[in-house]
Structure 1
């Protein structure tokens, strides 16, 4: 039997997590000396209220190697193998923690660790495909190879409402190059080989959404895709973006989800984005 592990940045609907029997390891969020487990001991309302009250961002950190080891040992039974799929190693040490834990338990269980080179709904859609392939009877090695081949076909577009959080965050890579020159614009960001890359600027949300969908159409055309939309406290805006994407792309499965707090800390409330993922087969 194949067990699938991911982390709390996967941004899948709760129903899908239970439907596919996924194990989700939480990212750590630290406010001062207090540590919270994403998706377990802090909710979005408390998270944003605390940032507003303190005027500073929390830090985030990957799960400890020991935490992954415990999860793998718990799942190791009856000859099971584990597929552990995580957010891009360009933004987090989570993948590295999983790799080290897999080595620790290698005499007990075989663990395949995949760097998705993406996160949020892109990661979620990859995890979903892994679960479907496992149900279809593919081996763990075959699934791992399929997922690694999928990575260049995942297209991600994110638009920030403003640059307040990005200015405070120290982990946004090349976005920092633009912060001094961008005034009253909404940056559109993509993901290239696992790294965040600013690609466009929009003067309004409406124009930004239109451009994001246009960019996606340039990359996927009318190829059938699954699509996930994510947002940070912006459900109405996310619904608008989802409707626009459905009207112009050949969408099959679609869903909306809250942006993981450990990602939203770098982008801020009002952020909206989506990922396209090629249909299986």
Structure 2
């Protein structure tokens, strides 16, 4: 059996990832002069609270040695490793994973995949790779499953401000042209491994706008839907649930995810997003 590894920007809490059969390598969060392991040492709301107070948060990729330790352990008990990671255009994490595989001289036993994604879509890609492996598939099957997620899924996020993404250089140059305006919120999606701001909508209509795009894309076909939110705001959570329930999407599987510390450092409080892809059962 192949083991499936991802990184903490999939925003699956550690206990959820374990239940799904995924191993997760954490990125680093730099806050208040200290370094924390993403999702392990720091609650996401600590980041959002810090940002609301005007504080800055930085992040660092998962280091090569963390991958070496995990790969070595997994190769002792598994036939190989499928390692699915956030876009190489957003972080050096996938480069460090490849360097670790090379340092171990693992050959084809470690397959490192740049998903071109992060957060909700990355979680879906890692789960798809796991499903392919559990069905008896090899590394090529896992790679194909990850690629299908990128092709089939539509994920859009809206942020109150582009400032956090600009600071970290995580926004495409074209996306910078779609800035903030009074009463409007930018809507973003992944394009070629980077986040791109695709339009601006009225703040109060942003969620309905995102859902309308998903309804147009998928019609009445069954879909797997994931909703991500930055911070445990009960009012926002109620709004998200109500809007999804009132939508015309044929939701066959749903998941609610909190956006984690590393992702939160780059998008800021008040961000939320919705992702859907065809559900095959």
Give the structure-1-normalised TM-score.
0.89
CA–CA separation in structure 1 for the residues paired with 2:118 and 2:34: 25
The residue number in structure 2 matching 1:195 is 194
Give the conservation status (yes or no) of the 8 Å contact 1:81–1:111: yes
The residue number in structure 2 matching 1:69 is 68
Q: Alpha-carbon deviations, 1:127-162, whole Å to 9, x = none?
A: 112222222222233222232233211211101134
Give the conservation status (yes or no) of the 8 Å contact 1:230–1:238: no
Give the conservation status (yes or no) of the 8 Å contact 1:125–1:277: no
The residue number in structure 1 matching 2:213 is 215
Q: Alpha-carbon deviations, 1:229-264, whole Å to 9, x = none?
A: 111114542443344335311221111111122111
Q: CA deviation at 1:217?
A: 2.0
Give the conservation status (yes or no) of the 8 Å contact 1:65–1:100: yes
CA–CA separation in structure 2 for the residues paired with 1:178 and 1:78: 49
CA–CA separation in structure 2 for the residues paired with 1:231 and 1:144: 28
The residue number in structure 1 matching 2:86 is 87
CA–CA separation in structure 1 for the residues paired with 2:234 and 2:94: 30
Compared with structure 1, are the counterparts of its residues 98 and 200 closer, same or farther at alpha carbon in structure 2 (3 Å cutoff)? Answer: same
Give the 5 Å matches for 1:121-160: 121-160=120-159
Q: Alpha-carbon deviations, 1:194-243, whole Å to 9, x = none?
A: 221112212233x1111101111222222322111111114542443344
CA–CA separation in structure 2 for the residues paired with 1:110 and 1:242: 42
Give the 5 Å matches for 1:226-265: 226-233=224-231, 234-246=233-245, 247-265=247-265
CA–CA separation in structure 2 for the residues paired with 1:200 and 1:178: 7
CA–CA separation in structure 1 for the residues paired with 2:13 and 2:252: 16
Compared with structure 1, are the counterparts of its residues 280 and 16 closer, same or farther at alpha carbon in structure 2 (3 Å cutoff)? Answer: farther
Give the conservation status (yes or no) of the 8 Å contact 2:5–2:84: yes
CA–CA separation in structure 2 for the residues paired with 1:173 and 1:16: 31
CA–CA separation in structure 2 for the residues paired with 1:235 and 1:155: 25
Segment of structure 1 superposing worse, 265-274 or 167-176: 167-176
Q: CA deviation at 1:4?
A: 0.9
CA–CA separation in structure 1 for the residues paired with 2:190 and 2:126: 18
Give the structure-2-normalised TM-score.
0.89
Unaligned segments of structure 2, at least 5 residues: none
Q: CA deviation at 1:167?
A: 5.4
Is 1:183 equivalent to 2:178 in the alignment? no
User: What count of residue pairs does the alignment treat as equivalent?
Assistant: 278
The residue number in structure 2 matching 1:57 is 56
Is 1:8 equivalent to 2:8 in the alignment? yes
- What SS does the corresponding residue of 2:127 show, helix, strand or coil? helix
Compared with structure 1, are the counterparts of its residues 51 and 109 closer, same or farther at alpha carbon in structure 2 (3 Å cutoff)? Answer: same
